[in-house]
Structure 1
Amino acid sequence: MTNLDIKELIKIPYSCSPTSSVDNKRIAYLNNKSGTPQVWLCDENNVHKPLTNYKERVALVSWSPDDKWILFSIDKGGDENFQIKLIDTSDYTNIISLSDDMSVRNDFGGWSTDGSTIVYSSNKRNAAYFDLYTQKINEEPKLVYQTSNDIHSVAFQAYSNDLKKIVFTEERTNRYQYLKILDVESGNITQLSDDNLNGGFKQAIFSENDDEIIIITNEGKDFSGIARLNLNSKKLSYIYSEDHEMEFFKMDSENYRLIFYINDRGYSKLGILNLSNNDSQIFENPHEVTFMEPTYGWGACVLDESNILLTINSTNQNGEIIKFNLDTQKYEFFKKAYEGDIKLNNLPKPTLHSFKTFDDRDIPFFFLKPDNFKQGEDNPILILIHGGPEGQERPTFKPELQYLVNQGIGILLPNVRGSGGYGESYGHLDDTYKRMDSVKDIEYLWKWVVESGWASRDKIAVMGGSYGGFMTLSCITVYPDLWAAAVELYGMVNMVTFFEHTASYRAQHRAYEYGDPIKDRKLLEDISAIHKIDQIVTPLLVLHGDEDPRVPMYETEQLVSEMKEAGKQVEFVRFLDEGHGFVKEPNRITAYTSIAEFLTKYLL
């Protein structure tokens, strides 16, 4: 087995988010070869070149339907206060800013069908509330819907073909929304969804004559699917619904069909839905990958009847745009972001398993094993816990994990109760007073890996970021004797102060999941690791960025201070120019090298 260099692994770039000109002869996309994701262009002569060169990340890219503009969003230091900018496609040199107040967050929603107007949500009026705005290019923005009271956020979903109506969602919880429609001229709002708030909605398109929309929803169901909603009768009819989550669709108007992605136990699968007769087809290729982009978005370009562009991403494949042929089910790389010496295909891939937990429920997990791993031997193991809590661990490219596996450490990637991707019922199993049941799932995973002979009981570490950081701290305080080491990244340490300091627009959604900071204060105090520092006997590495709007630095400062005062083993890596995660290449090298050195020290 060849020894891998961790810095070379971390420096492997990605490309993603293809978006095309109207004639499909030019493609804009994101590539992070420079160290942060930037806008790149593939022109009509198949020449690739960067269009932006910022030190900060570009978060998204979208070509306007009138071909005149390439839109992108950018923030500063990971603070998520996104600003919207446009590249003039006449020569690609002129960039104009539609927003420039760096204290405000602007979330791009989409274009009007004629490309004259963008729709976005912004908290420029009040930091705690996101309102809906429209803005014609080269004109001032117009506030078209104002949130208030317990409604803190709205999100654009679709613009009608006649430019008279906008469909949007009114975010009520982190899972459920009301679906509403705005009459652009009068400003009148009509609610389209059920009053009972029993579903979520995302990504809609209008029918050709604007009398209905096609939308991804799980209203009344455990798994999301694709439905038609009649705008006059408000009747919802599913046209695709199976026991897996619908991730994304792209309209192929020329062939009157949808190209869609489903989530099959963590893997993505590609499908086609014929809108004339609702017949569908699921492809088996590409196999055992995800289509989730490294920027956590989804995208596709329909080039013609047979070919589409999309992003593939897997444990042994960096994020790359591919050209996929729907007839042959074969693909070629659009333009490889990585052409280095590491043979990615030779890197190990995970296997999918499940274990029985305390209530006899099956909990799924991926197992990424070194080539020389054998049952019954003295094997070191890392359990990696995802964030969310409604996130999902999926087989995506994580260079730090491939390095650890190369060093001889096995990785378990569980999707404990409350994870996304397994239906609404599974997602609610960890709500509020059931929070610590998900931590108990990790205890039972520990038991499984020891009793099955895959791990030495004194060589098991735990790691997680964001909510996974909360889970990591819960593991080492509730089950302190199980762990050889722990790594906690930008997680919640004190749930009460988390609610006090998190971005004001986030508090309501988090309260629905974790508990109300006033009514459920006792619960939040009881589950907070800050009150159990005396229980920690595990060496701990902590990493966090100063610009984090989700889990503010104050959480980590409390943890490190309390642990040092109590004489506990703690190391702290702090980043001044990162937010909720690490984006810039030098910081990623520092972060993942620190993690690798820490874990190999205690596990090998």
Structure 2
Amino acid sequence: MAASTRSLTVDISWICRFPALSPDNRAVAYVSDRDGTPRVWVQPLTENGHRRARVIDTGPEPVGDVLWSPDGAWLAVTVSPGGGERTQVWAVRPDGTDRRLLAGPDRAPAEGSAVFVRWTGQGSTLLVAELTASGLTEAVLIDACLGHRDTIAAGPLMWPSAVSRDHTRALLRHGPRGMREMAVADLPSGEERPLLPPTTDLGALSPDGEIAYIRSNAGRDRSALVAMPVGGAPRVVAERPDAELDRFAVSMDGGTALLVWNVAGRSELWVADLAAGTTRPLPPPPAEVVTAARLSLDGTLAVLAGESPDTPSHVLLCETGTGRYRRVAGDDPLPHGIDTELVRFPARDGLELTGWLYRAGPAPGPCVIYLHGGPESQERPTFNPLFQRLLAAGISVFAPNVRGSSGFGRAFQDADNHALRFHAIDDVADCAAYVVDAGVADPEKLACMGRSYGGYLTLAALVTHPELFRAGVDVCGMVNFATFYARTEPWIAAAAVSEYGDPVADAELLRALSPIHSFDRLTAPLLVVHGAQDTNVPVHEAEQVVLAATARGVPCRYLLFQDEGHETVRKANKIAFLDAVVGWLGRWLDC
């Protein structure tokens, strides 16, 4: 099918993400790009759902998250100046008045960053993580009303997870990727007590600070919810042999927890009565994947962001007692369904890999292997306009989870660390073999693309297995680990050592893993996409790719978005990105 007609008429649906209930359960705030740029919207909650949402003025910059204060007086908002990764925290009244900057860079060029963690439940106090230009993280309590600031902890590779309601204890996460552990700090002394060994991640505290609730895979392969009394022994609240705990939320009163399980990519929900120590499943949510979950103050309601391959991210309300779901905000599902299939197949060394297959037709034809970022992330059956555009253009999509992906246990996630990354690169070749053997792809019309770590893996596959691919698309990927470590944010560089290797001690390995040093093997025409404001993977990575490919005489197009960072969030830029990718692959795959 020609790429020039049908594919270019498919529009981008608007999305709703990061919903938060008002404390009286009468409204929900969320982030939506329905008018072109992610902003805060507030939807009144009525049974018939006919009252219109209103936008909250937080300025012209893209919004990343929103959270309602327990006293109902404020909305905490994360804003990205210039569309980059160095964010600010603002507070604004729910009617859009009295907007004020609480934390984050206030000058250009920006230095440091700030992200809100949660309201503490004491007045209008917000727990904020401030990342300094030197790479340290400071945990700060900020009174949104009075502007008072109290730094309660600081250190490298530290992240504040929670604080007790009386502000006498804080739950802190320490360590690099894949090796994080939790500790509780007594305030104001700051004296810390470790709670669980690696690997632990998300955490919450009971209102009195006596019990920490932690997502952990310590002593097990798959993440579970563990209750850790301060000074006591850990107790498993919930675990499953067939699933990972994806996320969880604890109500402000400390009585209820909502658990979101990742079951081979799809979401299932449980409710835990924390006082009784019991759990029960909820009915299946009306969405394949739940990407955000927050509870009302008393735990009787949950507000969710959910999506499916044919349904954009939308807001759902769930009664935790009955399991009744109600859609309260979001764009309509596509008028036509999206067929997707979860497939399993062995890598060359016998390790089982999985992937989501989107077929454009019954016969072998053009196909692109799409590689997710992370690598501690997972391809799941979510809403992806790019996949829809490619399918409309007659190009099948195979989105695998190669080794190193999350969602399949700790051993699988660690299977690409350091020198094991060469096996992950070979996994991409095994994915290519799978789609050809399965009759999905014409071997002469196969491409590879990915973003962030997936962009790196794309470049590595193109130079390691150049005979397999007829085109490539690199979206904000790393190409040279030496320059990545030198130019990325200090806290990102420090956290990446456990995943990729030490830039000094492992310099030889990192050079061998860097695709830039093998560009003499590059043959596939390459589209390179990047955001000029990206400080996670700085734009210098893309510039090296374009320079090296051009010097080799390889066809190369460079698409640079001046007002985007590591993610493309503005609607006009999303459309330009889709047009570029579909046009590029359509040209070189002859479709």
TM (norm. structure 1) is: 0.91
Contact kept, 8 Å, 2:303 with 2:316, in 1: the verdict is: yes
Query: Take 1:316 and 1:309, find their aligned partners in 2: how far apart are those partners?
Result: 21
Aligned partner of 1:184 among 184, 187, 193? 187
| Contact 2:178/2:498, CA 8 A, preserved across alignment | no
Aligned residues: 579
Change in CA separation of 1:273 and 1:111 when aligned onto 2, cut-off 3 Å? same
**Partner residue in 2 for 1:226:** 225
Provide the residue aligned with 1:132 in structure 2: 139
Alpha-carbon contact 2:530-2:560 (below 8 Å) kept: yes
User: For the structure 1 residues 58 and 5, does the alpha-carbon distance in structure 2 shift closer, same or farther, using more than 3 Å as the test?
Assistant: farther
**Are 2:344 and 1:318 equivalent residues in the alignment?**
no
CA distance in 2, matches of 1:314, 1:111: 30
Cα-Cα RMSD: 2.3
Q: In the alignment, which residue of structure 1 is the partner of 2:507?
A: 521
Q: Give 1:37's aligned amino acid.
A: P
**C-alpha contact (below 8 Å) 2:246/2:262 kept by paired residues:** yes
Letter in 2 for 1:596: V
Task: After TM superposition, give the deviation of residue 327 of structure 1 in Å.
Answer: 6.3
Deviation at 1:442, TM superposition (A): 1.3
Per the alignment, residue 377 of structure 2 pairs with 391
1:482 to 1:268, Cα distance in 2 relative to 1, 3 A: same
Inter-partner Cα distance in structure 2 for 1:462 and 1:199: 32
Partner of 1:420: 406
Gap change, CA 1:451 and 1:271, over 3 Å in 2: same
| Alignment correspondent of 2:343 | 353
**Cα shift at 1:263:** 0.6
Structure 1: unaligned runs, 5 residues or longer: 293-297
User: What residue in structure 2 maps to residue 144 of structure 1?
Assistant: 152
The worse-fitting range, judged by mean Cα deviation, of 272-281 and 68-77 is 272-281
Measure how far apart 1:512 and its partner are. 1.2
* Alignment pair present for 1:159 and 2:163: yes
Whether contact under 8 Å (2:128, 2:139) holds in the other structure is yes
Change (3 A) 1:306 1:9: farther
Matches of 2:179 and 2:122, distance apart in 1: 30
Q: Is this contact kept in 1: 2:131–2:137, CA < 8 A?
A: yes
TM-score, normalised relative to structure 2: 0.93
Give the structure 1 partner of residue 172 of structure 2: 168
Q: Percent identity?
A: 26
Contact 1:180 1:189 in 2 (8 A): no
Q: Distance in 2 between matches of 1:238 and 1:221?
A: 11
- Please state if 1:30 is matched with 2:38: no
1:113 aligned partner, one-letter code: G
Partner of 1:107: 115
Deviation at 1:47, TM superposition (A): 4.0
Deviations 1:108-127 (A, max 9, x none): 11122223321212134x43
Residues 366, 425 of structure 1: alpha-carbon distance in 2 compared, 3 angstrom cutoff: same
- Residue among 418, 422, 444 paired with 2:430: 444
| CA apart distance, 1:448 | 1.5
Separation in 2, partners of 1:12, 1:491? 26
Q: Secondary structure at the residue paired with 2:444? A: coil
Alpha-carbon distance in structure 2 between the residues aligned to 1:454 and 1:178: 43
| Alignment deviations for residues 305-338 of structure 1 (CA, whole Å, 9 cap, x no partner) | 76532111111110011233556655332033x2
Q: Which residue of 2 aligns with 1:60?
A: 65
What is the letter of the counterpart of residue 373 of structure 2?
A: G
Specify the alignment match of 1:291 in structure 2.
Answer: 290
Aligned-partner Cα distance in 1 for 2:573–2:327? 29
Given the superposition, is the C-alpha separation of residues 8 and 165 from structure 1 closer, same or farther in structure 2, using an over 3 Å criterion?
farther
Answer whether contact 1:38 1:50 (CA < 8 A) is retained: yes
> Which residue of 2 is the match for residue 295 of structure 1?
none
**Residues 71 and 8 (structure 1 numbering): CA distance in 2 closer, same or farther, change over 3 Å?**
farther
Quick one: structure 1 residues 181 and 429, their matched pair in 2 at CA, closer, same or farther if it must change by over 3 Å?
Answer: same
Aligned to 2:334: 344
Indicate the residue corresponding to 2:124 in structure 1: 116
Report what 2:460 is aligned to. 474
Most deviating of 98-107 and 483-492: 98-107
Partners of 1:471 and 1:602 in 2: CA distance: 20
State the distance in 2 between where 1:591 and 1:143 align: 41
The answer to whether the Cα contact below 8 Å between 1:9 and 1:400 also exists between their aligned partners in 2 is no
Change in Cα spacing, 1:399 to 1:85, as seen in structure 2 (3 Å) is: same
Distance 1:2 1:285, change over 3 A: farther
Kindly state the Cα deviation for residue 522 of structure 1 after the two structures are TM-superposed. Answer: 0.8
Seen in structure 2, the aligned counterparts of structure 1 residues 480 and 307 have a Cα distance that, compared at 3 Å, is same
Distance 1:205 1:211 in 2: 7
